[in-house]
Structure 1
Amino acid sequence: MTIERKVKPGGPFTWTQIQQIVKSNNLEMFARSEDQFRKYSKFKNDLSSNGITINDHVLKEELEWKQSDIRSQTATTPPQEYSTSNPQDLIFYNPDDIKIIYNKFPYYFEESVVHLCVWSKLTIPNDINSPAGDISPLTKRIIERYLQKTFLEKGISKQDMVWFRNWSSLQSVRSVSHIHVLLHNVDDGILQKLLKSPGNTLTIEDYRT
């Protein structure tokens, strides 16, 4: 198994650079250091040599979920992405659907940055109007409300958090939906309470408003 060689020359991405990249949606700019890339490549090749996919590893070893747990929306009808009459199809609504963990192989960020992934058993749908596989403005607003409740209302400053979901073409794990959350100078006590939890999931009222 081979992966695209993307290595960040020089020093790590600073928080200011990270904010600019996410704001401009130039997510393809993120890369690992030479050492990080080598370790990540070896990890994936070792999995492959043992007949294990990265998707299966993440599910079993990191999330402790089963493939049968993963599901897509079933009842909503396009062009409506979400319906409160079908709560099983609402992302970041069911606590059992969500888990926050460290990114085991983060990009090359300065030491003050923590790289988390928020994983979802329910597929986060792509925007049908995005050729690159981005998410819709509505989905972004829903995710931002979840992040507000989970991180900002816990005391993390808005200036110290950015998030993104890689477009489909950039994802290394595609069968399990997840978003990336980057925190700057976060209090470790807050962080430890969030890890392996679902965070503060959304309510029907959150969706209605």
Structure 2
Amino acid sequence: MPTGIALRDAREQLFDAAERVLLRDGPNALTSRAVTTEAGCAKGVLHRRFADFDAFLAELVLDRVARLDEQATALRESAGTGTVAGHLTDALTDLFGSLAVAIVGLITARDTLRARLRRTGGTGGPGGVPVLAEATAMLASYLAAEQERGRVTEDADVDTLALTLIGTGHLLFAGRDGAPPEREAVLRIVDSVVGGVVREPLS
């Protein structure tokens, strides 16, 4: 197998293993040994590819954040179809029902990781929380697209609305050990935030 393919496969294998550990056991359980054990490979495999464990975690976060770009594109392209509240509800559920809450917990728990991400400038920006900042931009971009189509009022502050949706959505999903909230619960949150600026049936 060519070296490039082998390295890429190993990287994804390690990232997928870290994701499983993070979701199952939480950020405090995420160590290099836990990752390589979960991946079924020698510990040296990780250290040959990354300068240290925080470098590995930073690349994991950046890789997962990059996947938000695809979601953001699909969300923006959905403008003008369905309902605004329905799209926002689905976006929040997809975002917080996946790895986002766990990654935010990981970044919060590890000062060195947070500092590394801020130094690289690859995520979050100087004043934002990585992942949440990108997710906020995604919702603001979608709301702006709906504003252009007249389905959101011209005077709506889409940046503030997006920030409110992300903050409220994070609180709704965070700290749940069992099933995520019902779609209706998420929809009620969305309705309460955007109900005054949407020019269409909310649900």
The alignment's TM-score, normalised by the length of structure 1, stands at: 0.28
The alignment's TM-score, normalised by the length of structure 2, stands at: 0.28
Q: Which has the higher contact order (CA 8 A, sep 6+)?
A: 1
> Which of the pair has more CA radius of gyration?
2
